[in-house]
Every structure is written in structure tokens, then in C-alpha cells.
Structure 1
């Protein structure tokens, strides 16, 4: 074997070793992130509680420009519009972790609705959940008709039953009647570029502020990722 062949062999082995290490590191990072999202970063919220995190008034003139973008005034919300605590949740209607958090959030609003404003924004992760963008668009159309929250609940409750992509016939004959939406108006809304723009704006804002998956919360601008247990939210609100 020539010296040149030996050199190429060593080089290829070295590159192969580097590639293996890179793959292992990548899988470790992805695995850790998946675990964090699934388990929730309630520990971070708890740390903020114990370190004296306090809510700043959302109507204060000193609210940061970032929060103005995050806390979209034309987005669906529950609770007190003038609350000092503003929670923004980025959701994907096909995300199992969002489904797990949904009843927790509903309970949270029932318990502390006078103390908080909960804003929902779209972050459909199409690469993981095909059809998520379509569901987000349907929810936006329902919002225009004043039927966002029944639609929100319906899409989560039917998460395991809905196909990857709904056909026009399914939207007309199943979705529209189930949501009390006019099928003709819904079809027009789904075809309207402005509806798509709103969903894309949510997604772009999420990327801008470091959203990597769902659910991701911003509590007065502070990012918290994953499923947050009700008892951790209770701890947070008990300190206010």
C-alpha cells in the first residue's frame, strides 16, 4: 500500500469518527429537548417564583417592544384583558403535549381568570405533525366568527381521530357542521391569503423569540417550555 493510500485511509477514518461523534451529540441534544418538552419546564417557573419573579403590569407604558409583539392584541384570549399577568401560549393542535396541557390551562383560567390574560398563538410544527397548519387556519377562521374556543376544544378532543389532511368534503360535511360554521364562509376564509398570513405571522414570531416546540409559554415575556403541572402554576399565582 502506498503512502498516499495510507493517508487517505487515515483521513477517512478520522472523518468517520468525527461524523459518529457529531451524530451522537445531535441525538443527545434532540433527546434531551424532547424530554424537556414532554416533562415540561415547571422547574424554571418554580425557580422564578422562589427567586422573587414578580409580574409587571401588562398595560404599563414600559412594557418592552418584545412583549408588544408577543402579546398580540388581535389574538384569541381568555381571562382579564387588563390583568397584570399575561401568558402567551404557542400551540400546535396536533401536538400531544399541547393536548396534555389544554385541561390544565382551562383549569388555570377558571381559578385565576381575574389575575391573568391567556393569549393563544399558532405554532404548527408541520414537519412533526402534518396537517397542523390546516387546523391552525381553521381555528383562525372560527375566531373571525366568534367561535374560537369551541373550535379550540373540538380540535384537541378529536386530535387522534382527525386525518393528516382534511379534504374539502370533510371540511364541508364534518368540520363546519360540528363547529356551527357556515361551510361557504369557512371555505372562503381558508382560501383567503390574509388567514394564512396570520398563521404564518404567529409562527414567525415564535421563531423570533426562540420557540422550538409546543407548548411554549411566555409569562410576562419570560419563556417557559413544555407541559407545566397545575400545582406549579398554583405556586406561581400564590406568590403574586
Structure 2
């Protein structure tokens, strides 16, 4: 076995180990495309935050921006959800918390969940669908069959106009909006979820609320 081939095998084993330990990771083919349904080509000009990015908080004088690239079906993202909720409750008047889509190819309903969230955003209820998807993740996550009907029931529960919701799901621009987030993520070096950027710099995901709080406090004190 050649040294190059041996190194590639070791790298693949390490990648799998990190994926199992820290959440969902994107696997690319040699052509640079994912095994899922979304475009895995990085954006030509990448930005951590765009004008249409979904902001969970919008302080008048934001001192810091925290961006999360997430997959609604990712268990690690589900574990981060209550941490982010505590942080934005505490720092919402100083920190801008931004959510960006990064559905992973290994999750059967990740793209569908992202589309549901974006369809809700068309009616001004992104935050409500975001919360609903994460608080119910154990009920639909890891399923092999489509959960589009479940997500539609959430749309009804949060008060969406279902006709407008269905129209948004069928609109190619909704899927393109999800792909745009993923392309920015890839260009920024996102390989798995959740991935956090603080003022545009990718960080290692803090393991606890206390660790994340300490990081934010340190950045705000600068």
C-alpha cells in the first residue's frame, strides 16, 4: 500500500471519528459535491452574514455577532439549541444571533426541515418554526421516511397560512435560499454542524453554556 493511500485511509478514519463525537459532518465526493440534494459548491464571494440572513436578535447597537450554521436534524444542533436560547435571552440587547442553514446529506429530513423554516420565514415566523423544529426533534429526527407532513402540521400550529406555506415550499427560490446559506458555509470552512462564527471567525463549539458565556463575555470586554 502506498504512503499516500495509507494517509488517505487514516484521514478518513479520523474524519469519521470526529463526526461521531462532535455532530454531523459533510462528506464530499472528489468532484466537490455532497451526497445529498444540495449544491456543495462554495460561494464565489462568501459572507458570514447577508442582508437576508435570519436574525434571532437585532439589538440597536450590536456589539458582537454570533452566527450558527445548523442542521435541524442534527442531534448536536439540538443540544446546542437550549444553550443558544439562554445566551440570546441574556445577551439579546448586545449580541446579534444569526441562524444559517446547513442541511447535511446524511439526514433524510434536514433539507425538508430547512425548507419548512424558510417557508415560515416568508410569513415572518422563522423563529417560531425554528423553535418548533428543535423542540420536537426527537419525534421526527433520524426517520427514513419523509416528515414533510409533520412540518406542515407545525406550520398550522404556529398559525401560518397553509396555502401560502405550500406555495413557498414549491417555489424554487425557497430551495435556492437554503443552498445560498450552505454555499457561504462551505466557503467559510464549515464542514459540520453546529458551526459557530463569532464576528466572522469560526470557533470551536464551546462544550457548555458556561464556556460559551465566558467566550462572549471576553469578546464583549475587549
Query: If the length of structure 2 is used for normalisation, what is the TM-score?
Result: 0.78
Superposition CA RMSD, Å: 2.2
- 1:58-114 superposed Cα distances (whole Å, 9 cap, x missing partner): xxxxxxx85xx2112212212315312011110100000000000000000111112
Which residue, 147, 156, 165 being the options, matches 1:177?
156
In structure 2, the CA distance between the partners of 1:74 and 1:228, relative to structure 1 (3 Å rule), is: farther
User: Residues 95 and 75 (structure 1 numbering): CA distance in 2 closer, same or farther, change over 3 Å?
Assistant: same
Secondary structure, counterpart of 1:236 in structure 2:
helix
SS of residue matched to 1:160? helix
What is residue 52 of structure 2 aligned with on the other side?
74
TM superposition outliers: structure 1 runs of 4+ over 4 Å: 17-21, 169-172
Q: 2:146 corresponds to which residue?
A: 165
Any conservation in 2 of the 1:101–1:228 contact (CA below 8 Å)?
Answer: no
| Runs of 5+ unmatched residues, structure 1 | 1-13, 39-64
* CA shift for structure 1 position 236: 2.1
Structure 2: runs of 5 or more not aligned:
24-44
Matched residues in 2 for 1:166 and 1:81: separation?
Answer: 38
The answer to whether the aligner puts 1:205 opposite 2:191 as a matched pair is no
Separation of aligned partners in 1, 2:176 and 2:211:
35
Greater Rg over alpha carbons, structure: 1
1:17-166 pair list within 5 angstroms: 22-35=8-21, 37-38=22-23, 69-79=47-57, 80-125=59-104, 127-162=105-140, 163=143, 164-166=145-147
> How many residue pairs end up in the alignment?
194
- From the two aligned structures, give the one with the greater helix fraction: 1
TM-score, normalization by structure 1: 0.73
For residues 81 and 121 of structure 1, what CA distance do their matches in structure 2 show? 21
